[in-house]
Amino acid sequence: MPEFRGLPEVRREYQWLASCLPFCSSMKHKIKRSASLLLTTLVFSMGVLPIPSSVGIAQVQQKQNSQICTMDKQTISAFENRVKNYVKLRNQVKAKLPKLSKSSTPEQLESYRKSFEESLRAARVGAKRGDVFNTEGSDYIRRTLKSEFKGKDRAQLREIVFDAQTQAVKLRVNYPYPEPTELVEMPATVLLNLPQLPKEIKYRFVGHHLLLVDRDNNLIIDYMLNALP
């Protein structure tokens, strides 16, 4: 007889907590591979963490990790601010459009999407790659994805991401994601570890590249090349 059991929440809790740790774990690998001299130099170059000679490598590593996590928090926070700025702009544009009913006809949907797309493109003239992701944000996301795609589930993850037919997608900021092209499912375990986005914006993979796409008008807001290993 089938019965429901309360599963241990450890796995799930781990997933939630893990969202703020990927860089720490990826750095462990790096640190193991790095010479202690390089590590010490790096820490000193940050000018934050003076290391007494008596401190062991493990302690340095621990402090380094906590320091890097703080830095990552700043990177994530800066990324989220740029996302917020985008959302603010797109909502200003949206506010000027006729309101879309939640029970629209196909004609209304098509017309709304086109007007939203055109108005937003006009408001973002000059937008270019890296405006939202920027270098630090991209580095963080690359490291996070690398760590995810090195894990035990890497084969399944690659299957999900690379099986989709996305060859037709031209990567152009401020242009729409082509309508008839399949959307890649964002693997749930990966999503939990990336910086969270507001509902108006989605991450989307196209091959090895990662895009930010507007949910309501399908515009490519920004993209980063070779996000995946």
Partner 1 sequence: MRRFVFSLLILSLVIFGSLPVSHGQSAAIGSKVAARANSSLKLTLPVKEGSLRFAVMGDTGSGTDKQRQVANMMVQYRNIFPFDFVLMMGDNLYGSESAKDFETKFSDVYKVLLSDKVKFYATLGNHDLPMQINYANFNMNGKEYYRFKKGNVAFYSLNSNYMDKKQLAWLESELAKDTSDWKICFFHHPPYSSAKGHGSDQQLREIVEPIFVKYGVNVVLTGHDHVYERIKPQKGIYYFVSGAGGRLRESDVQTSPLVEKSFDRDMHFMLFEVVGNQMYFQAISRTGETVDSGVLVNQRKQK
What's 127's DSSP letter? -
The whole-angstrom separation of Cα 114 and Cα 55 is 61
12: contact with partner 1 by CB under 8 A: yes
98: contact with partner 1 by CB under 8 A: no
Structural tokens at position 25: 């774990």
The whole-angstrom separation of Cα 150 and Cα 197 is 24
The whole-angstrom separation of Cα 104 and Cα 57 is 62
* Contact set for partner 1, span 110-149 (CB under 8 A): 110, 112-113
CB within 8 Å of 100: residues ≥ 6 apart: 108, 109, 112
Q: Which of 35, 45, 47, 102 binds partner 1 (CB under 8 A)?
A: 102
Residue number, 81 or 196, with CB nearest to partner 1: 196
Exposed/middle/buried for residue 79 (C-beta within 10 Å: 0-12, 13-18, 19+):
buried
190: contact with partner 1 by CB under 8 A: yes
Q: Which of 121, 129, 202, 209 binds partner 1 (CB under 8 A)?
A: 202
Minimum CB–partner distance for residue 17 and partner 1 (Å): 12
147 C-beta neighbours (distance < 10 Å), count: 21
Binding pattern for the stretch 41-80 against partner 1, x by CB under 8 A and - elsewhere: ----------------------------------------
Q: Which of 70, 91, 101, 135 binds partner 1 (CB under 8 A)?
A: 101
77 C-beta neighbours (distance < 10 Å), count: 10
Q: Which residues bind partner 1 (CB under 8 A)?
A: 1-7, 9, 11-12, 15-16, 19, 100-107, 109-110, 112-113, 153, 156-157, 160, 163-164, 179-180, 182-192, 196-197, 199, 202, 215-216, 218
